[in-house]
Amino acid sequence: MTNPNALPLYEKVRVERRVQRLLDVTIFFLLISLLAYRLFFLHSHAFTYLHTIAFLCEFWFTFNWALLINVTWNPVHYITYPQRLLKRVEELPPVDIFVTTADPVLEPPLITVNTVLSLLAVDYPANRLAVYVSDDGCSPLTFYSLTEAHKFAKIWVPFCKKYQVEVRAPFRYSSDDLSCDGTEEFQCEWRRVKDEYEKLRRNIEEAAKNFVFPELTSELADFSNTESNNRPPIIKVIWENKEGLSDGLPHLVYVSREKRPRHPHHYKAGAMNVLARVSGLMTNAPYILNVDCDMFVNNPSVLLQGMCLFLDPTIDKEYAFVQFPQRFYNGLKDDPYGNQWIVMMEFTFRGMAGIQGPGYMGTGCIHRRKVLYGQSPDGTNISGKHFDDELHKTFGNSKDFVNSAAHALRSLTDYPNSLYNSITSLKEVATSDYEITSSWGTKVGWLYGSLLEDVLTGSEIHKKGWKSAYLTPTPPAFLGCAPSGGPIPLNHQKRAMTGLLEIFFSKKCPIFSFLFGKLQFRQRMVSVWMSLWGFRSIPEICYATLPAFCLIANSYFLPKVQEPVVCIPLLLFVFYNLQQLLQYLETGQSARAWWNNERMARINTICASLLGTVAVVLKLLGLSETVFEVTKKESSSSDDTENSSDEDLGRFTFDESPLFVPGTTILIIQLAALSVAFLRIRQPIVVEFGVGEVMCSVWLILCFWPFLKGMFAKGKYGLPWSTLSKCSALAFLFVYLCIMSTK
């Protein structure tokens, strides 16, 4: 019989998507034909700016399409066998879990508490887990909530494990009605848990309202006299699993790093690096799972799933990190805000998994600590002669920490069994100037220089030659809170685009790595595709103004209906939309969800990406710095959702944010163009524009339909006057220039 320990723990299987591939290639050939038509046109007619701009935009779309085909061509699926791993429980390595929160108002502590509770209750030996919460808000409310949560965890965790509860975030579990399930004993315990959770919720809400924290007076002294950007580090052990019980509760540690006005704090990346050091001194686990404060564990076997890839006997040290998809719990019917990203996760990330590996998404990811400490797959960085000297330069001046880093890099397996390293060392590594003479943020840890610290950190890991894996267990591993209506998702998108462009204009630009580095060739194309994403507002906006220009200036940029070549753009339109629609249907979504996402894609690119580009240009000119604005999170029980009807939930809300300006302007331009065109048709002149231009313009109006409704609605559902007047002025200028250009 084969040794059960030698059985593989996972399998990687190809996902067949023949129809998608066929459509991918067809669209690519149509795009090439369109380019050929343009060149032929430019050659046979006189040179015109209009057709040259159209050619350049279409060239960009074609190039992007080729890169995208590369990304999605070889999707793979990982099958894991956690039950085989359960036979080797004694081999399971320790895991440190990092949770980041930054603002108790935008990220209500009850959300963080639910995430922490779900983590404390995962299926994994509790004596090999430690949960570290970084609080960049340095809020006594967050600290208080965590201490209360820990009390509740004493009944919650045993309850979950005894009854194999599936969803271990209490706010989700208690929302299901279980009153008629299970035995009497279960019923009784379930009621008790439910009451206790209610109590916890009330305590936290009360504390948030009155800002008094019963029972914590001595602890709270540390939080007095702290300012948002001027305060000392605070590290508090809320719970230590001193006896090392495997069925007890994992360690729970609260960390608020030092912030001083003269030192940059690098937002989330800075917080993660502090957690890496503090945990290095306390538990120094070889694996690190990190989640955002709203991303609770939805599948209690996540860590076992991840370990299947790290501990598989048939491979060794192959994977640097294991990424789980980002999924969300607050999805509305038909995804009106396009914020569920199901297709993106399914097609692009699964596709990347078939090359060198998916990018790091910042949350729901298990890393090897030593990879974050800069190790290469061949183990260099640890064999050098001046190893320890070098380590000081890399990891900073704390002797204790350098020892722990050396330990981690050498993969030694004797882990510290007490949390209490010297408190002076702990505070030292959480100070704001600790990193100044070290390589934190440049070579080791989470990297600085972009608002997308995850993309940057992940791609630097790939560049060293590491692979990564993408696990998509059922039920989904983690669920988080997607940014909902109004300017929030646009701001979110803007930040992402800013981050990508920051990477593009940095020393870590993917174009250089295209030429150097140890990336696989196709992964190089992936990184180029990703970084060019930041620029896409420019060609899209140019292309969106072409039909309007033609309608106003009585010109054309598409073949006429009577020409046979008209079938090229027509088929492109049909096949592209068919392909997108099929992707939504294949992932179990509705046709309406496809349309909502298609529309949001245009809105996001034209509004958010453009402002992201502007933010980076301002940064490059030295006029302003880019800022990580924390996304507002709502628990599903918040008042807003309770008081609104279903229809209102998916309705767009507006405010005076400049994010709405580009979209509204494009919309007004299309409306003006169609009106001018209508007047033209009635005049006795030769009409040059055709059905193609009119259709493009109408299509854009349909994409910006929520904005059109916003022009006539009131209150938060209406576009404010200031925005409307700015946009009208811009649109007027455009129309004027179009008319002038024909004179």
Closest CB to ligand UPG among residues 294, 428:
294
Closest CB to ligand UPG among residues 109, 396:
109
**Residues 6+ positions from 201 with CB-CB distance below 8 Å:** 110, 171
Peptide bond into 475 cis (omega under 30): yes
Pick from 434, 628, 689, 704: which binds ligand UPG (CB under 6 A)? 628
Closest CB to Mn ion among residues 171, 373:
171
Asked whether position 292 contacts ligand UPG by CB under 6 A, the answer is yes
Pick from 154, 236, 443, 492: which binds ligand UPG (CB under 6 A)? 492
Could you give the C-alpha distances from 271 to 99, 312, 683, in angstroms and in order? Answer: 10, 31, 66
Q: From the list ligand UPG, Mn ion, none, which binds 502 (C-beta under 5 to 8 Å, kind-based)? A: none
How far is Cα 104 from Cα 136, in angstroms, rounded to an integer? 9
How far is Cα 162 from Cα 183, in angstroms, rounded to an integer? 13
Q: From the list ligand UPG, Mn ion, none, which binds 107 (C-beta under 5 to 8 Å, kind-based)? A: ligand UPG
How far is Cα 498 from Cα 492, in angstroms, rounded to an integer? 10
Closest CB to ligand UPG among residues 149, 293:
293
How many Cβ atoms from other residues are within 10 Å of residue 272's Cβ? 23
Q: How far is the CB of 480 from Mn ion (least distance, A)?
A: 6
How far is Cα 276 from Cα 368, in angstroms, rounded to an integer? 11
CB-based contact 58:38 (threshold 8 Å) = yes
Q: From the list ligand UPG, Mn ion, none, which binds 668 (C-beta under 5 to 8 Å, kind-based)? A: none
Please list the residues that pair with 508 across neighbouring strands: none
Asked whether position 267 contacts ligand UPG by CB under 6 A, the answer is yes
C-alpha 84, offset from chain centre: 32
C-alpha 732, offset from chain centre: 38
The conformation of residue 595, written as its DSSP 8-state character, comes to H
Asked whether position 631 contacts ligand UPG by CB under 6 A, the answer is yes
Asked whether position 288 contacts ligand UPG by CB under 6 A, the answer is no
Active site residue 103: no
How many Cβ atoms from other residues are within 10 Å of residue 329's Cβ? 20
Q: How far is the CB of 362 from ligand UPG (least distance, A)?
A: 2
Q: Which of 24, 123, 136, 222 is catalytic?
A: 136
Q: How far is the CB of 453 from ligand UPG (least distance, A)?
A: 6
Block residue for tokens 């399998």:
11
Residue span 614-653 as binding mask against Mn ion, x where in contact by CB under 5 A, dash where not: -----------------x----------------------
Closest CB to ligand UPG among residues 421, 613:
613
How far is Cα 199 from Cα 394, in angstroms, rounded to an integer? 47
297-326 burial: b if 16+ Cβ within 10 Å, else e: bbbbbbbbbbbbbbbbeeeebebbbbbbbb
Closest CB to ligand UPG among residues 101, 284:
101
Q: From the list Mn ion, ligand UPG, none, which binds 363 (C-beta under 5 to 8 Å, kind-based)? A: ligand UPG
Asked whether position 271 contacts ligand UPG by CB under 6 A, the answer is yes
The tokens describing 30, both together, are 């149509």
Name the one range near ligand UPG by CB under 6 A: 413-421, 446-454, 584-592, 705-713: 446-454
Pick from 70, 100, 421, 665: which binds ligand UPG (CB under 6 A)? 100
CB-based contact 139:104 (threshold 8 Å) = yes
How far is Cα 666 from Cα 568, in angstroms, rounded to an integer? 26
How far is Cα 599 from Cα 339, in angstroms, rounded to an integer? 12
Residue span 293-322 as binding mask against ligand UPG, x where in contact by CB under 6 A, dash where not: x-----------------------------
* DSSP string computed for 353-401: HTTT-PPP-SSSEEEEHHHHTT--TT-TTSS-TTHHHHHHHHH-S-HHH
Closest CB to ligand UPG among residues 161, 492:
492
Asked whether position 630 contacts ligand UPG by CB under 6 A, the answer is yes
Asked whether position 484 contacts ligand UPG by CB under 6 A, the answer is no
CB-based contact 327:479 (threshold 8 Å) = yes
The tokens describing 348, both together, are 């692009």
Q: From the list Mn ion, ligand UPG, none, which binds 450 (C-beta under 5 to 8 Å, kind-based)? A: none
Asked whether position 446 contacts ligand UPG by CB under 6 A, the answer is no
How far is Cα 249 from Cα 247, in angstroms, rounded to an integer? 7
The conformation of residue 720, written as its DSSP 8-state character, comes to -
Closest CB to ligand UPG among residues 265, 407:
265
Asked whether position 452 contacts ligand UPG by CB under 6 A, the answer is yes
How many Cβ atoms from other residues are within 10 Å of residue 585's Cβ? 12
Active site residue 454: yes
Q: How far is the CB of 586 from Mn ion (least distance, A)?
A: 26
Asked whether position 139 contacts ligand UPG by CB under 6 A, the answer is no
Q: How far is the CB of 326 from Mn ion (least distance, A)?
A: 8
Asked whether position 501 contacts ligand UPG by CB under 6 A, the answer is no
Q: How far is the CB of 503 from ligand UPG (least distance, A)?
A: 11
Closest CB to ligand UPG among residues 172, 268:
268
Asked whether position 493 contacts ligand UPG by CB under 6 A, the answer is no
How far is Cα 505 from Cα 447, in angstroms, rounded to an integer? 15
Q: Which residues are catalytic?
A: 136, 454
What residues line the site for Mn ion (CB under 5 A)? Answer: 292, 631
What residues line the site for ligand UPG (CB under 6 A)? Answer: 100-102, 107, 134, 136, 267-268, 271, 292-293, 362-363, 452-454, 492, 628, 630-631
